[in-house]
Amino acid sequence: MKIAVCIKQVVTREWQVRIDESKTWVRDRDASWELNEPDAYALEEALRLKEKHGGEVIAVSAGPARVTQVIREALARGADRAIHVDGEHLAQADGFGAASALAAALADEKIDLVLTGLQSDDQGFAQVGVILAEKLGMAHATIIMDVQVTGAELRVKRELEGGWFQWIAMPLPAVLTIQSGINQLRYATLKGIMAAKKKDVRVVQAPAASTESRQKILSIYMPEKSKQTKLIPGSPAEAAKELVRVLRDDARVLS
């Protein structure tokens, strides 16, 4: 089984976010980076499927030169080889642009299964996997909590609202978006890190289609504090009466 895992590099959660001059993205020149956590679960699931059914795991990432950091991390964790879709514009690409870049890189690979994280920690579109499936002409399912492979078919468990789950049977090839927590993550060993240096990373240029966007960020800003404290003077009885009035007439939380 040939499995492709789409991974993204995002800023670390500990990094203090700074908005850039255009106020449409963050100042990432001095940021620290890490593997998108939902994609880490997708990578782990791919490695487990390979251990059970055999085959090959290919890590695929679209972005500028710096994404080689997460590519090497994926190789150190156990991926067999990698594809880097190179393009500076992909650092801020929307779901359509990212999916277009990834689809072009995978078109000739004859992939059996494509896994992505449910969404990215930075933009959170949750659309890359769905659009990628459409571009590759594959079946797809989202929010996956369990994957079972039987011959040329899949049986997957989807997480629904309210604590409900749904089992779906679907054919291969397919694209699945993996829910965080589906498995226990493994980390790179020293042996894996050393082996990653010898694994193949194929670099391809991003296609022109990846520059097209279907969404545009107009503005971003830091959350503004709006909480205010109001003191109610008077005796306890007077303050209680006034508090009820404020909750009923001003806050409208009492009827």
The string of pLDDT tens digits covering residues 221-248 is 887 777 778 888 889 999 999 899 888 8
The torsion angle over the Cα atoms of residues 128, 198, 66 and 202, rounded to 10 degrees, is -50
Nearest to 1 by CA among 143, 167, 149: 149
Round the average pLDDT of the chain to a whole number and report it: 91
Indicate if the pLDDT at residue 148 is higher than 80. yes
Beta strands 153-159 and 165-171 are antiparallel
The pLDDT, as a whole number, for residue 215 is 85
Q: What's the token pair of residue 121?
A: 């920690």
Q: Which domains does the chain have, with CATH numbers?
A: 2-211 (3.40.50.620), 225-255 (no CATH)
The answer to whether residues 5 and 39 touch, using CB atoms and an 8 Å cutoff, is yes
Distance CA 28, CA 19 (A): 9
Lowest-confidence segment of 26-30, 158-162, 218-222 by average pLDDT: 26-30
- Distance of alpha carbon 110 from the chain centroid: 23
CA distance 42 to 190: 22
Distance CA(107)–CA(96), nearest Å, equals 16
pLDDT of residue 249: 87
In this structure, the dihedral spanned by the alpha carbons of residues 241, 247, 250 and 254, taken in order and rounded to 10 degrees, is -120
- In the block, tokens 């990846």 appear at 210
**15-19, 44-48, 66-70: least confident range:** 15-19
Strands (E), the chain: 2-6, 9-11, 33-35, 56-63, 81-86, 113-117, 139-150, 153-159, 165-171, 174-178, 201-205
Q: How far apart are CA 29 and CA 136, in angstroms?
A: 33
- For residue 54, which amino acid is it? G
Between 228 and 127, where is the model more confident? 127
Q: What is the pLDDT of residue 173?
A: 95
pLDDT of residue 218: 87
pLDDT in tens, 55-95: 999 999 999 999 999 999 999 999 999 999 999 888 888 99
Provide DSSP, 113-179.
Answer: EEEEESS-SSS----HHHHHHHHHT-EEEEEEEEEEEETTEEEEEEE-GGG-EEEEEEESSEEEEEP
CA angle 37, 181, 107 (to 5 degrees): 60
In the block, tokens 């409208």 appear at 252
Q: What is the pTM of this model?
A: 0.83
pLDDT per position as a tens digit, 155-199:
999 999 888 999 999 999 999 999 999 999 998 999 999 999 999
Are 211 and 100 in contact, with CB atoms under 8 Å apart? no
